[in-house]
Amino acid sequence: MNTSWPEYSTGSDLGVHQSGSGSEFKEGAARLVTEQGRTVADAAKSLGVSPWTISRWVKAAKSDGADAFRGHGQRTPLEQENFELRQQVRQLEEERAILKKAAAYFARHVE
């Protein structure tokens, strides 16, 4: 029974450094495939990451570009605008409900 682990590169010899942020590592791993012509399997083995993971990173980099690895909780400008507009809608709906109740109250007590 072979219990030894396969030898993996740290990625530094490939221009990919895991000591940086996770997004930098993912971008570098995706560039190995998209710009340097490495296969997904080769890049995965070299970096010690599963081929499936590398494939996801490559797909994300191709579809989202610079926004692909922005991190958790980081919104794109369009998502941020959507979030702010939804907050504004909620605020306006609350204000409208208050004004509606006030109008009904004053309509009853005017007589």
Question: Where in the chain are the domains?
Answer: 1-72, 75-111
Closest-CA residue to 15 (of 34, 29, 2, 3): 29
Per-residue burial over 30-57, b if 16 or more Cβ lie within 10 Å, else e, is bbbbeeeebebebbbbbbebeeeebbeb
Q: What is the pLDDT of residues 18-58, one digit of tens each?
A: 544 588 899 899 999 999 999 999 999 999 999 999 999 99
pTM of this prediction exceeds 0.85 = no
Q: What is the pLDDT of residues 12-21, one digit of tens each?
A: 555 555 544 5
DSSP assignment letter at 96: H
Tokens 């409208």 correspond to what residue?
A: 96
